[in-house]
Amino acid sequence: MQRRKLVVGNWKMHGVAADLAEALAIAEAASAFEQVDVGLCLPATLIERAARALPRLHIGSQDLHHADKGAHTGCVCAAMLLDAGASMAIVGHSERRQAQSENDEEVRAKAEAGLGAALAVILCVGESLDVREAGEAVATVQRQLDASLPRDNSVGKLSIAYEPIWAIGSGRTATCEDIGEMHVALRQRLVAAFGDAGEGVRILYGGSVKAANAAEIFSVDDVDGALVGGASLKAADFVPIIEAAARAG
């Protein structure tokens, strides 16, 4: 099945108002590639300004709380993100699973909250180096996906990002064979969970994606886009990745 490519930048804890010039340059360049969906998941402090300034780009957050509202100091819920102009949210990034001890159940609740509010949700999964070296990557990540998927049987605007932890920010990428094997394995789980609708869910790859390796990664079957960290901060680095996605079709 042909799925539109989705290329999303995750700025992590980078960016102040002065950096919106880069986001603007990304938005302007992205408008030349209408066949690709492009998003930027920004620090919460920039979402409203970016959404206002860049109405044609999908602006998202890097997390959300699963509750509608309440006594959750420091947290942001789906309604607040929508109110600020966000249209997407990342959930379950490995940096949050590790540093904030988020487990699969919590990630699932966040995914359900985001999809329930009609946000596009990018649900992240990925294995550690130990798990990869023990030959348990596929089984582990399949289990992680099963436990993190929304339970209400509706995929809504769900995408999955496979991000091997050891490839994030390390300059190391998984081989095309490993990426292909994992994406096919994840597709099987999506179809098992959602039937035919599971075929429509985009599976992104993330982990040291850059201009030099994007075309090769996008040529792998079942790679429907990328979640990009470091190389999304500057238009000069990010736009060639969008262009590679457009060429891959």
Catalytic positions are 93, 163
Selected binder of ligand 13P within 15, 39, 92, 230 (CB under 6 A): 230
- Which is nearer to ligand 13P, 106 or 163 (by Cβ)? 163
Residues 6 or more apart in contact with residue 194 via CB below 8 angstroms: 153, 154, 155, 201
Residue 55-94 contact track with ligand 13P, rule CB under 6 A, x = bound = --------------------------------------x-
- Which is nearer to ligand 13P, 94 or 117 (by Cβ)? 94
- Which is nearer to ligand 13P, 41 or 194 (by Cβ)? 41
List Cα–Cα distances, 41 to 15, 61, 123, 186, 235, in angstroms.
11, 5, 13, 23, 14
Q: Is 10 in the site for ligand 13P (CB under 6 A)?
A: yes
Which window, 16-24, 75-83, 185-193, 225-233, contacts ligand 13P (CB under 6 A)? Answer: 225-233
Q: Given CA atoms 84, 90, 95, 99 in this order, what sign does their dihedral have?
A: positive
State which amino acid sits at residue 152: D
**Using H for helix, E for strand and C for coil, what is the string for 155-188?**
CCCEEEEECCHHHCCCCCCCCHHHHHHHHHHHHH
Selected binder of ligand 13P within 32, 72, 169, 219 (CB under 6 A): 169
State which amino acid sits at residue 223: V
Contacts to ligand 13P by CB under 6 A: 10, 93, 163, 168-169, 206-209, 227-231
